[in-house]
Amino acid sequence: MNCLGCYTEVKEGYCLKCRKKLFDKARVPAVLLFDAPKADNLAEFQEHSKRLSISGVQLKYSIWLENGELKLYDRNGQYILKPVPPAKQLINFDDAPENEHLTMQIAEQFFNIDTAANALIHFKDGQPAYITRRFDVKPDGSKYMQEDFAQLTNRTKHTHGETFKYEGTYEEIGILIKKFVAAAMPALEKFFQLVIFNYVFSNGDAHLKNFSLIRNDSGEYLLAPAYDLMSTVIHTPYESDTALDLYADDINSAYYSAYGHYGRDNFMELARRLGIVETRAARILDQFNTNKNEITEFINGSFLSEVVKKLYVSCFNDKVKRIQ
């Protein structure tokens, strides 16, 4: 069987590398000791829940690792658990946990994007869930200071309405990275790569709260590891290509006006506005085409259903063509 973390071949559960990243080498079973949330146990789960992501309907639960056992926790757990979303307005919702897991693994394994440690896990009744380790929680349970870009741009529901986290541009995030991160240029290149990744893999929910800065033990701000990466078009097919505009008035650019979507010209303009050297920006864009065959094979070897594998690959190929 394949490791539920990185897909390498294992006898059961997780390979040593994934156990090290997720559980500090502990032998944690790949099956939880409790069933997935449903009518007879939903009250218990709701004590640990918070709505997020796909149109505000996906749920997450707080988990703590204690004596080799993963348990539901009241708050501030070490892990976040996301089961199959209950919302029937989504399509292909049974594939949501593996969609996020696969997309996070592609980001890390093919593009060396720093990501939150993650894996697939199963409830006692067999239903899959996505599990990720919180990077803002220290070993002693205390937390690193983390601020997302809704906070950093002073946008809240009260000041900007229900859609506050979608009010802004990726250029605006880049400007704040320049302001707060000491090693700004490497952080800007990582951010630029992540913006393109979200576009190529059809993550239309990469909003202001899905990018963060985190303060390390030395007091320096760093770009936080990537999180909440998934091909959201699989579940919400009529959404926009991006959660935010690339930059102000980008839809009036020559390319967008001609084709009705972003292309290479738009991303090169974003790079110019962020101060990224043209050759560096071109190299970042080109890497998405270089690994296309290997990524397609990786997707086909994932735990997605066969129908969703084809849809995932089709969306990926379409977006790669746009940025060539």
Half-sphere CA count of 310, side-chain side, radius 13 A: 2
Q: For residue 57, what pLDDT is reported?
A: 60
Q: Which residue has the higher pLDDT, 41 or 186?
A: 186
Average pLDDT over residues 253-272: 97
Which residues make up the CATH 1.10.1070.20 domain(s) of the chain? 146-323
Residue type, 321: K
Q: Where are the beta strands (DSSP E) in 18-85?
A: 49-52, 58-66, 69-72, 79-83
Check if the beta carbon of residue 203 is closer than 8 Å to that of residue 103.
yes
- pTM for this one? 0.93
Is residue 129 predicted with pLDDT exceeding 60?
Answer: yes
How far apart CA 14 and CA 322 sit, in angstroms, is 37
Based on its alpha-carbon atoms, the radius of gyration of the chain, rounded to whole angstroms, reads: 19
* N- to C-terminal Cα separation, the chain: 36
Cα 193 off chain centre by: 13
pLDDT tier at 95 (50, 70, 90 boundaries)? very high
CATH of domain 146-323: 1.10.1070.20
Mean pLDDT (the chain, rounded): 92
How far apart CA 301 and CA 97 sit, in angstroms, is 16
Check if the beta carbon of residue 49 is closer than 8 Å to that of residue 61.
yes
Which string of DSSP letters, residue by residue, matches 124-158?
TTS-EEEEEE-TTB-TTS-B--EEEHHHHTT--HH
The pLDDT tens digits of the residues spanning 140-177 come to 888 999 999 999 999 999 999 999 999 999 999 999 99
Residue 23 in tokens: 């559980």
Percentage of the residues of the chain whose pLDDT score is greater than 70: 94
Q: For residue 161, what pLDDT is reported?
A: 92
Q: For residue 44, what pLDDT is reported?
A: 52
Which secondary-structure segment (H or E) carries 192?
Answer: helix 184-200
The pLDDT tens digits of the residues spanning 99-124 come to 999 999 999 999 999 999 999 999 99
* Residues ≥6 apart with Cβ < 8 Å to 152: 176, 180, 213
The pLDDT tens digits of the residues spanning 38-82 come to 645 445 545 544 443 344 567 889 999 998 899 998 777 899 999
The residue behind tokens 């440690």 is: 117
The helix/strand/coil state of 278 is helix
Check if the beta carbon of residue 221 is closer than 8 Å to that of residue 180.
yes
The pLDDT tens digits of the residues spanning 215-252 come to 998 889 999 999 999 999 999 999 999 999 999 999 99
Average pLDDT over residues 306-324: 97
